[in-house]
Structure 1
Amino acid sequence: MPLIVKDYTWTQTETTVYISIPLKAVKTANVDVLCTDEYLKVSFPPYLFEAFFFQPIEDDKSVAKIGNGAAVFTLPKKESGLWEHLCRSIDKDKQRENREEAVLKTQEKSAEKSKAKATRTQQEKKYTLETMMKLEEEERASIQRMKDEECARATVELEAWKEKQRKMVEEEEARRRMQGTTTHNDKHVHQLKKPTEAHVFPSGEVSCRRELGRAASTAPREAGCIKISFTPRVFPTALRESRVPEEQEWLRKQVEARRAANADLAQLEDLKEEERNPDWLKDKGDAFFRLGNYQAAVNAYDLAIKLNRHIPALFSNRAACHLKMRNLHKAIEDSSRAMELLTPAVADNAAARMKAHVRRGTAFCELELYVEGLQDYQAALQIDPHNQALRADANKIREVVQGTTPSS
């Protein structure tokens, strides 16, 4: 039975209520707070503080500061005004209803936060993808502009070269006509000395003309293959140059994970063939559990989990062993891991989910965290509402939470 905290202090203004609760040398990590607009619960085993507020508060704007041996709450009021008392006077049935409503509201808010976080994450991914696509489109447009500019410049240079060649041909023809008019008769025409390239072309153009002649007489090149070697990349994605540090860090972590996995496998080399089978080890652990040898069962489940960490029954059964050995925190951890692996909730894993809830709820109750234990038992009842033994246990825990029955 938890000890009710009565040495708290509270003050108020027209708009805000301040509550200070001494933690009695309890670590801040062990303090559990549940707050709604009408109810406040502060649990730090074996102590418990509850307040059924005189008027509603703004729970979304409330602030809790836990440290230095006290938990201080700043609770804005929904309606301005001074309260006559901190807590209103209600009977035990109403208190029980308020507690259950507070648990349901907390669960709904947690689900809404998870959904909002998932939506926000999806939006951020979408925005990131759109931004990357936009940057890639801009880069492609920039490359295309550079290609167009280079093509235009090459076209201008080609046209200039063609114009220069045309003028050179016209000048050559003009010189030949001028030399033809100076000939006095036809018999001396064949005696005229053929103009040399130095006469026809001005200085500097002779070599250009010779090079053009050589280019015209050069044979076409033979076909061939050019081998191009690219730097190997693990992530062949666009704009990868800007993500090289992230890629290297990811690769480093993968190497470390493989080394750790290889180290675990090296430790298992001395095992027999059947001892490397997780299903065989699970059956072995179940047999040890039935014989009451819980530590041997835990050892079998540990080895099976090293071989395969994705079998929910291994964690759930190990949680049952920890319950028997009073390793309550380990039982809660293993039950939670089993429920994570049993997601999503389908008909085929309903029995396994119910067992995990019951085992975690039992561990919570053993730690005198009855509200948390009741939540797990209620979740198990939702899976199997016709289980009378489960309903009876849940009713006993509810009576303990309400204070009508001493804890056992």
Structure 2
Amino acid sequence: MPILVKDYTWKESETAVIITVPLKGVKANKVDVFSTDQYIKAPYTKEKINLHLLSYAYSPLLKPSYLQFEIIFQQVSYPPYLFEIYLLAPINEEVSGCKVGDGAVVFTLEKLEHIVWGKLTDVNENDKEAWKELRQHAVEKAHEKVTKDEEEKAKKKREEHQMAIKRQIELESEEKKRVEQVKEAERQRTTEEIEYWKETDTYHSKQARNGKNSIFEDKDKIPLPRSSGSIQVKFTSRTFPTAARESKAQEEQEWLDKIAAARRPKGDGSENPEESDPMWLKDKGSSLFKAGDYVSAINAFNEAIRLEPILPSLYLNRSACFLKIGDYPYCIEDCCKALERLTPPVPANAAQRSKAYVRRGTAYFKLELYVDALQDYDQAISLDPDNEGLKQDADMIRKIIQGSNPSDEDTVE
């Protein structure tokens, strides 16, 4: 059971009542106030005070106003306290309030009727049923007021929404009217221009029928037509597929100069001039390779490289021959030489660089140097990302490195 707080003090004038309730050592900054219209509730401890101020407007159903101040110590060592009072006469809740500080809660209540009360309440504090009924009625009135406020707020929101829609419709109507006016003005202007043109054309037609030229009175003043001619436009031929602004002009020109120099025939005093041409020897070696005569193809590529050691395609072709006959170290060496000469790296030599990486990676794989082989295949895939065969070979090498056992059919060629 709560213990009633009776050590409060109060004083009055004709216009106001002041009630002072001690806080028993609780700090003022620990108070939290909550209020409605007629009911006051304030639980607190020495650690923290939660003051719920629910001040209600006076209602004819309740002759006096109702004021409750409840003090609850939440710590185990402190029993609960309760302060509540049922005022003798109604108060004006709009200007009434409370102040927490200096060890007390001070309620300053404005009287509706400016008279001296003489006493604060006339309700017997021991009549529990009366107090219970008063509390219940206060809660019901609070609930009714909250419900009414919510309904009024919703009604006001609907009215504002309807007003906004109405205003939007008015604005759209005004804009539509303005557009129609602009269209009508433009239509009238166009009609006037057409009528003027018709009148002018009729006048010129009459003048022409009367033998007068309405446009040029003197035909000698008409200028002669311009003489016809043609303009020759020449475009610089471009080896690379990309636009000049998107490529590396200096590196591309360096590559083109290197290839052009390598393709120039070089004489060595032999009786057959064709055997002094590295490009002829290259074609001959390619034909021997296709025929399966890999050793003769190597001899042809050797002679071509002797005449022109800077042409990377010669090393690439010879590496393919070494790969076919199983001479993997020489294949790796030729691929390295080809990559050294395929500089600078430009889109025009990307396909040759990809072949060099694939053949060198295959040779590494045959020598069971799987990590080196995988690195070369990754380089080739970066140059030819759409080649599914390279991706499958790279995945197979990766499985071997990770310790899985590929099937007998999984072999890099």
TM-score, normalised via structure 1 length: 0.39
Greater relative contact order (Cα 8 A, min sep 6): structure 1 or 2? Answer: 1
Q: Per residue, is there more helix in 1 or in 2? A: 1
TM-score, normalised via structure 2 length: 0.39
